[in-house]
Structure 1
Amino acid sequence: MPQGHTDPSLYRSAAEAMAAPPEELAYVAGFDRSGRRPDALLTVDTDPASESYGTVLNFAELPTLGDELHHFGWNACSSALAHACHENPERRYLLLPGLRSSRLHVMDTRPDPVRPRLVKTVEAAELAARAGYSRPHTLHCGPDGVFLSCLGSASGDDGPGGVALLDHTTFEVLRPWETERGSQNFAYDVWWHLGTGVGVTSEWGTPWMVEDGVLPEQLLGRKYGHALHFWELQTGRHLQRVDLGDQYQMVLELRPAHDPHAEWGFVGVVTNVEDLSASVWLWYRDGAAFTARKVIEIPAEPAKAEDLPPALRPFGAVPPLVTDINLSVDDRWLYVSAWGTGELFQFDVSDPFHPRRTASVRLGGVVDRTPHPAEPDRPLSGAPQMVEISRDGRRLYLTNSLYGSWDDQFYPDGIEPWMVKLDADPQAGGLVVDRRFFPHGADFRGLRVHQTHLAGGDASSDSYCYR
């Protein structure tokens, strides 16, 4: 990019992002469950006018094995416009952490965005030596660098997990972000309220607690994460722990308001061990401190024991398993994935304290295996898991794999990969499955698919500087 020019895919405000041209490409993380073939970054055509619409255009394979690509993100996002953290920032490089290998792969989307190319690999030893962490999970471009949330300590098995800070342009690991950890031990997601300088983190578990699937004794013993943590963003100093209650196990995806001066957001909770329900909580500032309240609850669905995988037979029900949520760029619509029952919910959150359910779509599910309307005789394995929203709020992209070992527990007969697009009405609400967009099965060459990001940004890529 010429000196002094601003990348047009960096937006000063949410309104500017919503008015930008629609995405033409999606990037999807694909992994080989066996670990015997390379994982890959897939490029999918999302332009409805294209002859190749809904097809996989490219597989950018990694040179290593056993990475298990999971979440990933951009080196630069719109927050760079308000901070002197970049010189001529560009949304150019995709950073792909390996959740099992602890490596970080850097892919360059220039000059050919369809065919990203590997330009750097950060090895696990560098992450451990410079930041003291392992098992990188989630990353976001932030004010002082790229924030890389990690599940484990340098040893690779236990905690504390936390956030490693990476250089925006060289991708070198700089240091741990935290300066005073306080009571925090578990890690999962990291986000912030940019306008007020507050960081937020959530909790899953240490690597040994998650890498081989859900451990029943840990779950029923209420040992997984069940709290939110608030931090001073500039210094990494721990400010506050908000415990949701130890029956609410696995506090995962953070979706703060896109309004940079708001101090509220939503977080998904996988399950309540008392009744197998799942929930979404709203955190918000209440005076000098933060608090949280449950605003959405999704009950478990009764099922015959013979229809359930072994892990669920003793309970006689399918838990919803809320494993992802996403908030539209205008902070109007919240989407909630119930990976157990196979339902994607849409809620109107114009009043975030009182969400109103407006629509849902069923696909897959542990028991129902609801088919895609384009192939009504083909039962789907897996269910809506990661959900990504276009900047204008009109399109959603869903993929169906959670994490290899967890896939095997809840869908023991295997997960055939699929990616689905939904059309949304951003004014009145409502969801419709796009029958033309359904890459699945052999289209992915045996790789399971997890997170999606859209060329030019999406609802979960950016924090904005201005209203």
Structure 2
Amino acid sequence: MTMRPDPTFHASPKLAMEAPAENFAYTLLLSPDFSKPDALAVIDVKPGSPTYSQIVHTVTMPNKGDEFHHFGWNACSSALSPLAGHAFIERRYLIIPGLRSSRIYIIDTKPDPTQAKIHKIIEPEQVFKKTGYSRPHTIHCGPDGVYVSTLGGGGKDGTNGPPGVFIMDCETFEVLGRWEIDRGPQTLHYDFWWNLPRDYMVTSEWGLPPQFENGIVPEDLLSNKYGHRLHFWDLRARRNVQTIDLGANHQMALEVRPAHDPVREYGFAGVVVDTTNLEGSIWTWWREGGKFHAEKTATIPPEPAAKEKLPPLLQGFGAVPPLVTDIDLSMDDRFLYVSCWGTGEMRQYDVSDPRKPKLAGSVHTGGIERRAPHPNGKAYAGGPQMVEISRDGNRVYWTNSLYSTWDDQFYPDGVPGVEVMANVGRNGGLELDKDYFVSFPDGYRAHQIRLEGGDCSTDSFCYPSV
């Protein structure tokens, strides 16, 4: 507990952009064959440092089989909320859920990231008992607690009831209970985020555990049984107020990214694949006249490929779908970054006009058919996946693993863990940094990244930028 607000909390996105740059990046490492415990790597990202682009500390967990995926902070700028804030807590603890095990680790990053250590472990039985949910997935720090989305309901296979969101105490980390009062038609889950002053939440859909834990189920994909809807919620009343179906062919509506400035009532969602033509797509949603609306505003075509260069899963199609697996929005709401994990492309769109995205930059690393090396000449397996943007918008980091069993299906030759970074031009454009290339230890794959002091997919803001 501090006597003044944490200096990494910022009232507005503009103030966050003006804050000091990050010195460390935290990256989740997973053991795809469960032969060793998952881990958290701390990477030096300070230019000029003798250990720049190197792992300077590792927190290895005591259990195997967790399958780390997404994680987040115990507190962030939302703590400055004028209605229900906890302004005097610290951005100190990283909350890491095991997607496969439903176990949750609390990591203390103080007094220094290079001394991060396990603070507490929440066993899966506590999650099951208090929420009826399983497979915790995404962490968001809210003004009144820590919100956790899940991908599974109850029972061994996670299909006993729908998944949803639960809340943890942001100081004791006690699991409190389910968030939803009235879920309406929502039966699947994936990502979630909100506009705090406007008092609404948006959630998206992937699939139930039997549809992802052992790999993609081609029959379910081709019969359009994965998620394809966005749900909008009254944040205070905790009820579903509207559901928008993007069309059953738009399979796997994953990441949602609301505008950071709370004055702006719009956001973006990425769709992995259109089953009619293998396109990936970006959708813009907005509220007008008291109703939410959504439309497809950008499409990314598949790339033709010879059958012998494709994994068995794709050989019947003769093409590589882009596979839009992550998106991220810069703090000034100007640039949207789109990971095309299949084709090996990181795209940058100018979304100054949110309903008319314009391609502003593109670089390639990896890809199923392209297999583009890094500019330093090193091989890059997999493709751009989890993407994170520095608060000032000048640096874009990404890793290369999607999910253990899906990696094996789309990249059967393996996905050794790698993290890279691109520099952003003043008016857009991307250039891969030749000096930033993190190779993780053998047997580990790399997933989500968090930046010291917050980043563009962590914090939500309570005040407009001036």
The reply to whether TM is greater than 0.5 is: yes
1:130 partner SS: helix
Match of 1:317 among 299, 319, 330: 319
For 2:97 and 2:60, the matched residues in 1 are separated by 14
Q: Does 1:454 align with 2:451?
A: yes
2:55 equivalent to 1:53? no
Aligned to 1:128, what secondary structure does the other structure show? helix
Equivalent position of 2:462 in the other structure: 465
Alignment of 1:378-457 (within 5 A): 378-425=378-425, 427-440=426-439, 443-457=440-454
CA apart distance, 1:446? 2.5
| 1:120 corresponding residue in structure 2 | 120
Q: Distance in 2 between matches of 1:229 and 1:446?
A: 38
CA-CA distance at 1:49 after TM superposition: 1.5
In the alignment, is the contact (CA less than 8 A) between 2:102 and 2:136 conserved in 1?
yes
Rounded to whole Å, the distance in 1 between the matches of 2:358 and 2:87 is 43
SS at match of 1:437: strand
Provide the secondary structure at the position in 1 that maps to 2:130.
helix
Task: For 1:155 and 1:172, locate their aligned partners in 2 and report how far apart those are by CA, in whole Å.
Answer: 22
Question: Does the Cα contact within 8 Å between 1:57 and 1:114 map onto a contact in 2?
Answer: yes
Q: Secondary structure at the match of 1:15?
A: helix
Q: Provide Cα deviations, 1:376-395, integer angstroms capped at 9, x if missing partner.
A: xx432101001000000000
8 A contact 1:85–1:145 mirrored in 2: no
Please state if 1:214 is matched with 2:216: yes
CA contact (8 A) 2:140 2:193 kept: yes
1:17 is matched with 16
Structure 2 counterpart of 1:17, one-letter code: A
Taking the aligned partners of 2:339 and 2:74, their CA distance within structure 1 comes to 27
Moved over 3 A (4+): none
Question: Does the CA-based 8 Å contact 1:135-1:156 persist in structure 2?
Answer: no
Q: Which residue of 2 aligns with 1:348?
A: 350
Give the 3-state SS of the residue equivalent to 1:107 in structure 2.
Answer: strand
The whole-number CA distance in structure 1 between the counterparts of 2:16 and 2:412 is: 41
Deviations 1:320-366 (A, max 9, x none): 00000000000000000000000000011100011110110000000
- For the residue of structure 1 that corresponds to 2:363, the secondary structure is strand
Q: Which SS does the other structure have where 1:127 is aligned?
A: helix
Take 1:117 and 1:124, find their aligned partners in 2: how far apart are those partners? 20
Contact in 1 for aligned 2:78/2:85 (Cα 8 Å): no
| SS of aligned partner of 1:434 | strand
**What is the RMSD computed on CA atoms of the aligned residues?**
1.0
Structure 1 segment 74-223 matched on structure 2, within 5 A = 74-82=73-81, 83-86=83-86, 88-157=88-157, 158=159, 159-223=161-225
Structure 1, residues 23-50: CA drift from partner, whole Å, max 9, x if none?
0000000011111201101000000110
Secondary structure of 1:53's partner? coil
Whole-Å Cα distance in 1 between the matches of residues 206 and 72 of structure 2?
A: 20
- Is the CA contact 1:56–1:444 (under 8 Å) kept in the aligned structure 2? no
CA deviation after TM superposition for structure 1 residue 155, in Å? 1.3
Q: How does 1:223-302 map to 2 (within 5 A)?
A: 223-302=225-304
What is the Cα deviation at residue 113 of structure 1? 1.4
Find the aligned partners of 1:177 and 1:69 in 2 and give their Cα distance. 23
How far did residue 261 of structure 1 move? 2.5
Distance in 2 between residues matched to 1:446 and 1:306, nearest whole Å: 27
8 A Cα contact 2:31 2:443, kept in partner: yes
Does the CA-based 8 Å contact 1:40-1:59 persist in structure 2? yes
1:65 corresponds to:
64
- Cα distance per residue 1:103-140 (max 9 Å; x no partner): 01000001121221101111111111111100001110
* CA contact 1:58–1:114 (8 Å) conserved in 2: yes
CA separation in 1, counterparts of 2:210 and 2:75? 32
Hey, what's the Cα distance between the residues in 2 that align with 1:446 and 1:57?
18
Q: Is the 8 A contact 2:417 2:446 kept in 1?
A: yes
Q: Distance in 1 between matches of 2:116 and 2:209?
A: 30
Q: Deviations over 1:90-113 (max 9, x none)?
A: 110000000000001000001121
**Counterparts of 1:160 and 1:144, CA distance in 2:** 24
Q: Is the 8 A contact 1:156 1:207 kept in 2?
A: no
Between the aligned residues of both structures, percent identity stands at 52
Q: Deviations over 1:238-269 (max 9, x none)?
A: 11110000000000001000011222100000
Amino acid at match of 1:61: T
Give the match's secondary structure for 2:113: coil
- For structure 2, the 5+ residue unaligned runs are none
TM-score, L = length of structure 2: 0.97
The letter of the residue matching 2:381 is: S
Q: Which residue of 2 aligns with 1:39?
A: 38
Aligned-pair distance for 1:444? 2.7
Paired residues in the alignment total 461
Letter in 1 for 2:446: V
- Partners of 1:134 and 1:156 within 8 A in 2: no
Shift of 1:156: 4.2
- 2:123 maps to a residue whose letter is E
TM-score, structure 1 as length reference: 0.97
Q: Within 2, Cα distance between the matches of 1:339 and 1:49?
A: 31
* 1:361 aligned partner: 363
